[in-house]
Amino acid sequence: MSTTRRASGLAIFVVGVALCVLPWAGAAGLAALAQRSGTITLALPRELIDRDGEKGFVVPLRAERLLGRLQALFFEFPCDHAGGDRGLRLFEDDRELGPAHAPHSAIRELGGGRFSCWNRNLYFSTPDGGDARDAARRYWIETPIDVSRAVVLVALAISLAGAVIAWMSPWARARTARWRARWLDATAPLRETIAPLPRGWRATLIVIWIACAAAATFIGRGEHDAYLLSTVPTAGSGINAHANSLAGYSVFLNGVPRMGENMETWNHVAMFNGA
């Protein structure tokens, strides 16, 4: 019976380890497939284009609308803050538009074919100032694709569950119990010389963590981008800011800030130098 129990405990441990590893292997395979596919060409449906300012237009780059619901489960389009300079290219008929990564204020006020892909939306302007919704015009993009963030989140959830299963398996618990006993024996003299932590210290740390998270959420209540909310939990208004309540709406690329209209230069420099 003991042999059967040991085999059962080992099987549970192996299942847990497999759940830790296999989701990330699948995500890596999807990433390799996305990289191997290079760029894809997609037409922008006219019915999705909406006006944005005097000379600007905006169209949502939703994978479920442009790639299909099945592919959208696994892939998405890169945005400026995550995709680096990999290069989404925009075309009107056979003419390539640009420059890319233009400030949104310049797109709205100056036009001239400027565009920017940001937060799953493509902000652009026509080269001649005409209406992009005109039936005579045809717009399309060449873009790389990335693994969907949903895939990463699912892989993370499954791997965490696998880690718990492996850690709580009888096979692992029997071995960690021996390690814990050895550790307690080895550190007994040291623990006797250290004052014990006050009662309730765990609850205190949890309350502090919740308070910090609540403060960051309140400060960034107007922002919906998880990357910004998780990395830059500070308030900032910026120059000509429109939908941004956090510092760091843009990132540096070769010394040139993207979305430059949304933040003062000193805020850019301070944040991206570790302040």
131, 60, 119: which is closest to 92 by C-alpha? 131
240 closest CA partner among 115, 107, 58, 112: 107
Average pLDDT, whole number, for the chain? 76
Q: How confident is residue 270, by pLDDT bands cut at 50, 70 and 90?
A: low
Helix (H) or strand (E) holding 184: helix 170-193
More confident of the two residues 17 and 63:
17
Question: How far from 244 is each of 174, 248, 250, 258, 267, CA to CA, in Å?
Answer: 52, 9, 10, 14, 14
Give the helix/strand (H/E) hosting 191: helix 170-193
Note the pLDDT tens digit of each residue in 20-50: 999 999 999 998 888 888 888 889 988 989 9
Q: With left for phi above 0 and alpha for psi between -120 and 50, is residue 244 left, alpha or beta?
A: beta
Question: Could you read off the pLDDT of 118-164 as tens digits, one per residue?
Answer: 777 889 999 998 999 998 899 999 988 888 878 888 999 999 999 99
Averaged pLDDT for residues 71-93: 73
- Tell me how far apart the alpha carbons of residues 103 and 105 are, in angstroms, rounded to a whole number: 5
Distance CA(169)–CA(11), nearest Å, equals 9
Distance in angstroms (rounded) separating the CA atoms of residues 217 and 239: 22
* pLDDT (0 to 100) of residue 16: 93
pLDDT of residue 90: 93
What is the per-residue pLDDT across 207-218, written as a single tens digit (0 to 9) for each?
Answer: 998 888 777 666
Place of tokens 């430059």: 260
Global model pTM greater than 0.85: no
